[in-house]
């Protein structure tokens, strides 16, 4: 396995942990009479927006997906779908931001929780497709030279240093 594959899977686990943590905090706030920590929710959304959408997805598009398109006609349809999903992430995050703003203005957390659950389900499916379909195709089709470029790109932000 290449360094990039390890990094991609690590980044997916990190994103998943933040999403699950946010869901757990929202669920706890909804089941308690305590004031929800909307600042924490916002900070967690900041991470979700800053890391996956500004660093992780662009590296996948620019490096992994680009090289795989050059080497495998079989990958085209799934890559088209995943690139579209990368763009859709920004829309879903916009909905999450709007729902959080509504909660800050006094609305019930139900709208935020619903938007978060939809985003989480979307991301689980997205990451699953990348790991179960794209990465095996990449392992089967990319050259060592391709992997060297991909590894370098993903290593640039190793450990979430962004």
CATH of the domain at 64: 1.20.120.520
**Count of CB atoms within 10 A of residue 41's CB?**
22
Kindly tell me if the per-residue pLDDT of 56 is higher than 90. Answer: no
Q: Give CA–CA dist 32/10, Å, rounded.
A: 33
Q: What is the DSSP letter of 75?
A: G
Q: Are 134 and 79 in contact (CB under 8 A)?
A: yes
Residue-wise pLDDT tens digits, 87-127 = 898 899 999 999 999 999 999 999 999 999 999 999 999 99
How many domains, the chain? 1
Is this prediction's pTM over 0.95? no
Q: Looking at the domain assignment, is residue 162 inside a domain?
A: no
Residue 104 belongs to domain spanning: 3-157
Q: Looking at the domain assignment, is residue 142 inside a domain?
A: yes
């Amino acid at each position: 396995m290449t360094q990039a594959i390890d990094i991609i899977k690590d980044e997916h686990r990190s994103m998943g942990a933040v999403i699950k943590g946010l869901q757990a905090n929202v669920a706890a706030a909804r089941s308690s009479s305590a004031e929800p920590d909307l600042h924490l929710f916002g900070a967690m959304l900041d991470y979700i927006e800053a890391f996956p959408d500004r660093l992780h997805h662009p590296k996948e598009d620019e490096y992994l997906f680009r090289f795989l398109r050059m080497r495998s006609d079989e990958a085209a349809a799934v890559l088209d779908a995943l690139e579209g999903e990368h763009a859709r992430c920004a829309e879903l995050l916009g909905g999450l931001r709007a729902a959080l703003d509504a909660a800050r203005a006094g609305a019930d957390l139900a709208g935020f929780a619903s938007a978060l659950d939809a985003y989480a389900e979307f991301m689980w499916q997205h990451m699953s497709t990348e790991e179960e379909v794209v990465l095996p195709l990449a392992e089967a089709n990319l050259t060592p030279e391709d992997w060297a470029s991909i590894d370098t790109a993903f290593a640039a932000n190793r450990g979430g240093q962004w």
